[in-house]
Chain A
Amino acid sequence: MSTPTQTTKSDPSVLVRLRDLWNDYLPYWFMAPMVLVMLLITIFPGAYDLYLSLVEYKLSEPGTMGQFNGLDNFRTAFTSGGAVNSFTLTIIFVSGALALETVLGFLLAALVTGVKSERMKTFYRVAFILPMAVAPVSLATITRIMLNSEIGVIPYMITQYTPFAAPNFLSDIPLLTVMLVDTWNWTPFMFIIFYAGMSSVPETLLEASRVDGAPLWRRYVHVIIPYMKPVLFVAILIRLIDLFRTFGLVFSLTSGGPGTQTELVSINIFQTGFTFVDLGAASAIAIVYLVGIIALCNILIIKIGFEGVWE
């Protein structure tokens, strides 16, 4: 009989304690579902990736699978697996495409901001963001046909309407071609963010600079760009991270070729993992890549973000 009595007596205090626990840690409870999701989709796969990078995990050799092999996977990937080449190509690709997309996105935003008619502004906004709606694989499929030297419209137009001979886009300048196609696909993203940022520059500031007699370029350099710094920084950072993840477009357009001339890290990882079925080596490359991207982004945020943008 004593047990139920004790339970009854303790019930209110349990409830109170639970309520206190809820109230005291309210922000954490709200965060919990997201933390759980992060654990499931990021932390656990990341930890498993780290484990795979340290063991023998070649699917075609099940006899040795799971044996700890230290840093052998890293050595294999970076000495004979072409990882060094793919890292170099990725840096060139990301730098080139990011620069092009940023400059073109900014120019387009400036042009549309300068348009007087609201109707035309809407038209340009819609027209300029359309390329972003095309899926990379569809874009690559269409682009392959458009660049074909025999039946493609682009070499045809160049030969027909310019004094130049059309280059062999996918075999002579493959990396540049991939960069340009990505630029066509993703400049709209930069455009739309820059346009929003440019539209939020207070009219009073622009008015003041006009009264002071500043020419257009000075207004951009001394008023608009400084005001847009946070927008510029965030857009570039997001696009930078996204560019490092480029896969479908390049895979469908060149498969990483000719030879290994467009074999970005993402393609090298795919090839190592799913063609050579060496998940250990693929994981090793992925780990180095992930750490590299996180480090680069943190340096940018700390060094440029805090000091240069949000000082």
Chain B
Amino acid sequence: MTSKRSGRKRRNFIKATGVGLLGGLAGCTRGGDEASDGNGDGADDVDLSVSEFQDADIDWQQFEGSTINIGAVQHPWVDAIKPAIPVFEELTGISVQWNVLPEQEFRTKRLTDVSTGAGEWDVFFLDQVVNQFREAGWLQPLDPYFDDDSMYDEEWYTMDDLFEATRWQAHGGGYSDTWTGIPITVEVQTQFYRTDLYEEYDLEVAETLEEFVSNAQTIQENESDMVGTAGRGQKGYGMNIYILNTFIREYGSQLWDDYPDDSGLDSEGAISAAEWYVSLLQDYGPDGASSQTWSDVLSTMQSGSAGHIVSDANLFWPSLTDPEASDAADNIGIAKTPAPADGEFAPNAYSWQISTSKNADNSEAAFLFMLWASSEPTNTWLHLNSSAAFSVRQSVWENDEFRSRVGDNFAQVTLESLQAAAPDPFDAKYPEWGQTYSEELQTAIAGDQSAEEALTNAATAAEDTADE
């Protein structure tokens, strides 16, 4: 182990421990509901004009005097949009109350709120459990509001500007004919690599999985203190399988060829994808890759200990290129996720959407908020006036000012990846079989069973669960 490596490790440990400590303590102290008004500032202090919304043929004032409660997870979107809330309040006369919680606490409270019929939240964040909630009859479909001329102006809203993948996800990932919510953020999988090492070893950016393995191997063999790549191995339906599902699609298979009879997990393509990912992490990943979460993957790359991130959220870009947070900040490249030579490029995309429940008192006012929050003026303002880079609108990613802020290459790779994205279809029982599927995959990454055994077991579990 070189001294350069030792020094870097020590620095990274101190830095990472500091961040972890602060994060942990923050998590401990924030605790319960953080109910607050929209923002202390008035609409006049924000560089977003109410007139931009008054062009719409929408009766913004029809619910004047009402209050909407928003249940949200601690997310940069909340921080970014809060300063603009006074504009919404002035435009509509609707007051906004926030209930911002840490993710796990939020999930539990959300489940309680909608399943017991309490309906305390008029708007809430929703994710992979969308169909679980929808099939249980808790969600309010938005279609009647879209059909109401006083609430929706098709021409002004420019629905086509929303990425197709996000609109598809808002329809329960293809399981619903109706709108289950409106997407507010999107992230897509991309590849990250070390430009300095690519230059040193004369490597080409990998477009195929074979090229990627070769590049990872070159770096690992030549850099004694580095691993070729890092990738999520931890179980959980947002962890290892979130990455693997991309490769399953790229190998020509898909989840649920025939719901609920054939999960597609034991298909030839799925097994090939799992074999590729498992051996990649075992051969060129960090020791103990099976327990790596997304934050471990990010930290490993930030510390300069990995040559690549094979495929993960494009949202890592600001953290990887920030000199304050990353030792490799000046040498990070971004590219599209690799695909098999004879496969199809189909990265995973993930959206947070906001929805309303059947038991909420102010679902109609909530719809106006959703429309306002996801509209083009709000999105453009939000992305030009904060560090946000998760717009669901193509126009933002094509906006020159935004591109110059985030970097042209990052914007272009994200845009192309989002246009080709094929997100996972989360059926109602996905949280259940997804958990088992991820456990099986984790066991394979840990070397306790083969990838084929893991996927075969996962297929049986998924089909049994879906069939219940």
Contacts and interface: CB of A to CB of B under 8 A. Distances in A.
A-B interaction = yes
A22 interface: no
B139 interface: no
B439 A146 contact: no
Contacts of A135: 24, 28
Given A148-B299, A150-B300, A260-B439, A156 B290 contact: no
A11 interface: no
B235 to A, nearest CB: 5
B16 A145 contact: yes
Q: Which of A59, A142, A151, A155 has the most CB of B within 10 A?
A: A151
A60 B431 CA distance: 11
B20 A144 contact: yes
B12 A59 contact: no
Given A258-B235, A274-B107, A148 B136 contact: no
15 contacts: A60-B132, A60-B136, A135-B24, A144-B296, A150-B227, A151-B9, A151-B299, A153-B9, A156-B9, A156-B10, A166-B287, A255-B234, A258-B442, A258-B445, A274-B107
Interface stretch (A30-38, A91-99, A167-175, A294-302): A167-175
Interface string A256-283: 1111100000000001001111000000
Interface residues of B, number: 53
B28 A254 contact: no
Contact of B13 (A61, A146, A159): A146
B288 A168 contact: yes
Given A138-B27, A171-B290, A259 B9 contact: no
A152 interface: yes
Nearest to A276: B432
Interface string B107-119: 1100100010000
Contact of B24 (A142, A149, A256, A259): A142
A145 B303 CA distance: 12
Interface of A: 59-62, 135, 137-139, 141-142, 144-146, 148-153, 155-156, 159-160, 166, 168-172, 174, 254-260, 271, 274-277
Contacts of B439: 257, 259-260
Contacts of A255: 234-236
Contacts of B305: 150-151
A153 B20 CA distance: 14
B111 A277 contact: yes
B433 to A, nearest CB: 10
A172 B431 contact: no
B235 A257 contact: yes
Contact of A259 (B132, B303, B442): B442
Contacts of B27: 137-138, 141
Nearest to B21: A142
Interface in B4-59: 6, 9-10, 12-13, 16-17, 20-21, 23-25, 27-28
A150 B286 contact: yes
Q: Which of B21, B24, B230, B236 has the most CB of A within 10 A?
A: B24
A259 B240 CA distance: 12
Given A61-B136, A156-B9, A259-B448, A142 B20 contact: yes
B80 to A, nearest CB: 25
A169 B288 contact: yes
Q: Which 8 A-B pairs have the closest CB atoms?
A: A138-B24, A168-B288, A149-B287, A170-B291, A259-B443, A141-B24, A150-B305, A171-B288
Contacts of B17: 142, 145-146, 153
Given A60-B428, A151-B16, A171 B132 contact: no
Contacts of A171: 233, 287-291, 446
Contacts of A259: 235, 439-440, 442-443, 446, 448
A59 B24 contact: no
Contacts of A142: 17, 20-21, 24
Q: Which of A59, A169, A172 has the most CB of B within 10 A?
A: A59
B435 A275 contact: yes
B288 A172 contact: yes
Contacts of A169: 288
B306 interface: yes
Interface string B262-289: 0000000000000000000000001111
B6 A160 contact: yes
Given A61-B136, A62-B137, A145 B435 contact: no
A257 B448 CA distance: 12
Contacts of A271: 435
Nearest to B439: A259
A256 B290 CA distance: 12
Interface string B436-452: 00011011011010000
Contacts of A59: 111, 115, 136
Nearest to A169: B288
Given A59-B115, A145-B17, A277 B132 contact: yes
A155 B428 CA distance: 41
B135 interface: yes
Q: Which of A146, A257, A277 has the most CB of B within 10 A?
A: A257
A275 B431 contact: yes
A141 B107 contact: no
B182 to A, nearest CB: 23
B20 A258 contact: no
B284 to A, nearest CB: 13
A275 B128 CA distance: 11
B291 A258 contact: yes
Given A139-B24, A257-B235, 8 more contacts: A141-B23, A148-B296, A149-B287, A151-B303, A169-B288, A258-B443, A274-B108, A275-B432
Contacts of B234: 255, 257
Contacts of A257: 234-235, 290-291, 439, 442
A146 B440 CA distance: 26
Nearest to B303: A151
A170 B288 contact: yes
B355 to A, nearest CB: 16
A165 to B, nearest CB: 9
Contacts of B233: 171
